[in-house]
Amino acid sequence: MARKDGMPVVGVDAMGGDHGPQVVVPGAVAALEQQRDFELALYGDEAAIRQELERLGATGEAIRVVPCHQDIAMGEAPAAAIRSRPDSPIARGMHDQKSGALQAFVSAGSTGAMVAASLLILGRIPSVDRPAIGTLIPTVADHFLLLDAGANVQCTPEHLLRFAEMGDLYCREMMGLARPRVGLLNIGEEAKKGNELTVAAHRLMQEGSFHFIGNVEGNRLLLQEADVVVTDGFTGNMALKLIEGFGRYLQEVARDPHLSEEERGALLPGLRILQKRLDYEAYGGALLLGIAGISIISHGRSSSRAIANAVLVARRQARLDIPRKLQEALAHRP
């Protein structure tokens, strides 16, 4: 599965997620149909994968099946599972990426296993102590990148500074922003607001080589005041889950049996607009920044559309060689 004619190979965990090959394989194939400048390697149960490929009529040298005979359950201890199940899709995919047979790997399986495999097998970029999960969050205008969305529950100010530097480069390279606005999630706009972590991080970021706009409060997150918002993984994951839950809250409000037909009719158009704006499937999955490779972590409930978009993000990161650019950009940072 080495690169052919300069085309990257994107590996996909066909068994990951709530629905397995029946959803993952069509999504991965759809991505390949949209962009023909990469190859696809599908990891998992060979018979189940080939059955889906046959149903889709998907053939050709650009699609390969990598048989795996083990799997990692969602509740398993991640690091132990990676070591004890080397023939699982996640472990095999990461080892193949380490060897150069792949340039990226996508999974809707265990987030913990993806993070553990990325760290244990691919390793960190030099000068990155803590890789961070980055998630694109829709806003009133476009979207922003939230770092960290859950990889690091406890952080130092230096970790947050590195997250900001990685987010700045990612937005410049992947999103085409000439001067991304980087903000720090906090409880107030003033530099001295917050706890010891955020006060010290604010001080460091003011001296950073990126466009730091200061603190961003939670009630301003979705107003597109920043292109990158930095926080620790504990706070970031809670913010992410709150935003995700808001869409479900609106759906439940629309089902309220006490609403009159007039009230329901007035609510539905706005609800459709909000659902379109808060469409997380458009971004496919979260990315793990700071590792010596490309790992895209999709939600377990991902649809085929979400998988397709995750694969396209992985393909674009590979073609732009984001890990190398991150390593070069951070090489001379203290």
**Sign of torsion over alpha carbons 253, 258, 263, 268:** positive
Whether 119 and 166 share a structural domain: no
Distances (CA, A) of 285 to 99, 107, 273: 24, 9, 22
Using an 8 Å Cβ cutoff, are 93 and 52 in contact?
A: no
| Domain total in the chain | 2
Distances (CA, A) of 167 to 75, 170, 203: 30, 5, 18
Identify the segments of the chain with pLDDT beneath 50: 1-2
Q: What is the per-residue pLDDT for 263?
A: 84
| pTM exceeds 0.75, yes or no | yes
Crossing angle of helices 304-320/157-174, nearest 10°?
90
Domain of 98 in residue numbering reads as 1-128+290-334
- Is the previous residue joined to 148 through a cis bond, with omega within 30 degrees of 0? yes
Which pair of structure tokens corresponds to residue 206?
């003011």
Q: What is the per-residue pLDDT for 4?
A: 52
Q: What is the per-residue pLDDT for 276?
A: 66
Whether 228 and 248 share a structural domain: yes
Whether 139 and 238 share a structural domain: yes
- Coil/strand/helix, residue 292: coil
Write the CB contacts of 16 (distance below 8 Å, at least 6 apart in sequence): 24, 89, 90, 107, 108, 109, 110, 298, 300
Whether 76 and 164 share a structural domain: no
Q: What is the per-residue pLDDT for 277?
A: 63
Q: What is the per-residue pLDDT for 256?
A: 85
Whether 225 and 264 share a structural domain: yes
Whether 111 and 2 share a structural domain: yes
Whether 11 and 100 share a structural domain: yes
Whether 179 and 299 share a structural domain: no
Q: What is the per-residue pLDDT for 1?
A: 42
Q: Which of 72, 74, 62 is nearest to 92 (CA)?
A: 72
Whether 216 and 236 share a structural domain: yes
Whether 75 and 29 share a structural domain: yes
| 242, 259, 281 - which closes a domain | 281
Q: What is the per-residue pLDDT for 279?
A: 62
Distance CA 321, CA 111 (A): 23
Whether 332 and 196 share a structural domain: no
Q: What is the per-residue pLDDT for 2?
A: 42
Q: Which amino acid is at 203?
A: R
Burial 213-252 (b: 16+ CB within 10 A, else e): bbbbebeebbebbbbbbbbbbebbbebbeebeeebeebee
Whether 115 and 13 share a structural domain: yes
- What CATH number does the domain containing 172 carry? 3.40.718.10
Distance CA 167, CA 144 (A): 10
**Sign of torsion over alpha carbons 293, 231, 275, 170:** negative
